Amino acid sequence: MNTPSPSRAPSRAELREHLVRTMIAGEVATPRQNNLLHYRRMAAGNPYYLFGLDLKRQWSEADVLAMMAERCGVSPDPRHVYGDDTIDPDRTLDALEAMAERIRHAADSRARVVLATGHPQALPPIYQALGRALRARGCRLLTPAEGWWYEAELAYGTEVRRLRYVEDVAMLQSEDGRMQHTHDPQPMEAILAELAAESDDWPDLAIADHGWAGAAGEAGIVTVGFADCNDPALFAGEAEGKVAAVVPLDDGVPAHQYAPLTAYLLELSGLSA
């Protein structure tokens, strides 16, 4: 099958085939050994892998694996320790439908919305399309704390990163001008701190990933987002009721491959032109 036209929403069957063919779901490129390492570190309480969530349950590594098998579709076999892993495309589609329900409600109520991504090379077109459609429906896209900065902890030291908005989507920018991948919750925490201190514009909905989503969910905001099979924290947050819906997908494929998924999500949300 050819890639579905971005000018129309694919059917569920068409999108399922596209997800598998492009490795957004199905057999994905995220290595099994990387998944298990992240599950182990989340279970150990490593903040980098918790995404700003204060999880109440004591998650063992076995618990995390079982939860990810249920919610994401990775292999449940603890003896599978090397090679490729999987994301169940039907779970991806089901989660898109749950996300769409929340977005539809936000559009109908002209909600206040925050959009943010820690994946500036791949996912912004999804967020930007949602933002344009929500704005056209009368929603307010909130963009506080522009220019706020902090020193991000990196493997080789620290680096100053600033909060920037690109078409109303929050991202992090390094001093050389490049947008940066991040797991950190601090930028969303800064957004919410400014909103709490200076205005009545508390978000009704956050659409985000990584620490942006974790911090929003921890703050009690209705949060929907995307997560790869090596990012268990948001799925654990969903299991604990802190995150409303998490869509499992490979979050690192070329950006244009998400166009059919975006069209499908807009259609389900009632936001297609």
Q: What is the pLDDT of residue 158?
A: 87
Q: What is the pLDDT of residue 198?
A: 79
The per-residue pLDDT of the chain, averaged, comes to 95
pLDDT digits (tens, 9 = 90+) for 124-136: 999 999 999 999 9
**Does position 88 have pLDDT exceeding 70, yes or no?**
yes
**Residues ≥6 apart with Cβ < 8 Å to 45:** none
Q: Residue 1 — pLDDT band, cuts 50, 70, 90?
A: very low
The closest of 213, 116, 130, 210 to 166, measured between CA atoms, is: 116
- What percentage of the chain exceeds 70 in pLDDT? 97
Q: What's the average model confidence in pLDDT over 9-26?
A: 98
- Alpha carbon distance 128, 166 (integer Å): 8
User: 63 is written with which tokens?
Assistant: 């618990």
Task: Report which secondary-structure segment, H or E, holds 123.
Answer: none
How many CB atoms within 10 Å of residue 262? 19
**Does position 122 have pLDDT exceeding 60, yes or no?**
yes
Q: What is the pLDDT of residue 157?
A: 81
Q: What is the pLDDT of residue 73?
A: 98
Q: What is the pLDDT of residue 5?
A: 52
Is residue 1 within 8 A of residue 264, CB to CB? The reply is no
pLDDT digits (tens, 9 = 90+) for 31-86: 999 999 999 999 999 999 999 999 999 999 999 999 999 999 999 999 999 999 99
Residue 152's beta-bridge partner residues? 159
Q: What is the pLDDT of residue 153?
A: 85
Phi, psi angle pair for 10, to nearest 5°: -70, 160
The closest of 87, 51, 54, 83 to 71, measured between CA atoms, is: 87
